[in-house]
Homo-oligomer: A and B are copies of this chain.
Amino acid sequence: MNVPLHGDDAAPATRPNLPENAPDDAPDDALDTAALVSASADLLDDLRAQAPLVQVVTNSVVTNVTANVLLALGASPAMCDVPGEAGPFARVADGLLVNLGTPHAEQRAAALEAATAAREAGTPWVLDPVAVGSLPVRTQLAHALLAHRPTVVRGNASEVLALAGAGAGGRGVDTTDTPEAALPAARRLAADAGSVVAVSGPVDVVTDGDRVVRVHTGHPLLTRMTGGGCALGAVMAAFAGVARRTGRTPAQAALAATVAYTLAAERAARAARGPGSFAVALLDELDRLRGEDVRHRARVSAGAVVVPALEAEDAR
């Protein structure tokens, strides 16, 4: 594996980086993505071996599916979201997800407590700013949480645009924007918050601000089951915990999570009659997925964030 690896603790900058050995031009891109896929495969196998403890502060709709997704992957979920417990737990957890889907008062306090502790303890944590923008309570909370520098920000395009101040947010959990359209906002967000930004969509994108990786696996049925996106945030927290222990970057963790999750979804869709059987099959496939599957079946492409269309946007 010829990918330069450095944990976020070891890195001089707070911004975790995607591999920099590949130039921005196309010819070397194949090599670059092969290394990214290889690292993703290794991370999945490491996750099963290490069974990271993942603290989940998430919305009331997806707690069950989120825990089941983590269990299927071999992680150990703990929905610890009570003030007075959330902070101490974030210090010992391997990773933390804070999802803002149903931000009741106690959970808001627990989210801030956990994020503060995670930052202090070096626990990698993922912020999923569900439906930020038009809804005031979560939007205010999201900005307060950004100050604690999430390791990864994961959302759909509208949420990333809204969080970066470039959009008004979608209507609820919907998105009317594409990940590509959100790339400039994602880049700014990555730079401002020192976070990796992962944007879900037909083609998922992961960026550390400098480079972008696109994940081409997945299936539309993921949007037809509730928690399809939210659970991915928890998977990212699990992978980020493993990456930290094994000296890999958060960007690679976010990528590996997306690759594994969307690949399992693709396989689940083959056996599914509809969204009900898809959700069941997704857990079965996550359980069966191994690094070898990722190595042979992942479809990713990489490039620099700065492409012509974005330069114009940046010039404004």
A binding-site residues for B, Cβ under 8 Å? 53, 55, 59-65, 67-68, 71-72, 76-85, 88-89, 92, 101-106, 131, 134-138, 171-174, 224-227, 272-277, 279-288
Contact = CB atoms under 8 A, between A and B. Distances in A.
Given A171-B53, A174-B53, A283-B274, A104 B82 contact: yes
B280 A284 contact: no
Copy total for this chain: 3
Nearest to A56: B61
B63 A82 contact: no
Contact of A279 (B68, B103, B171, B173): B68
A138 B83 CA distance: 11
Given A64-B227, A225-B68, A78 B137 contact: no
A172 B80 contact: yes
A103 B79 contact: no
23 contacts: A59-B79, A60-B60, A60-B79, A61-B64, A61-B67, A67-B226, A72-B224, A72-B274, A72-B275, A76-B174, A77-B172, A80-B102, A82-B103, A82-B104, A82-B138, A83-B137, A89-B135, A272-B284, A274-B283, A274-B286, A275-B284, A276-B279, A276-B281
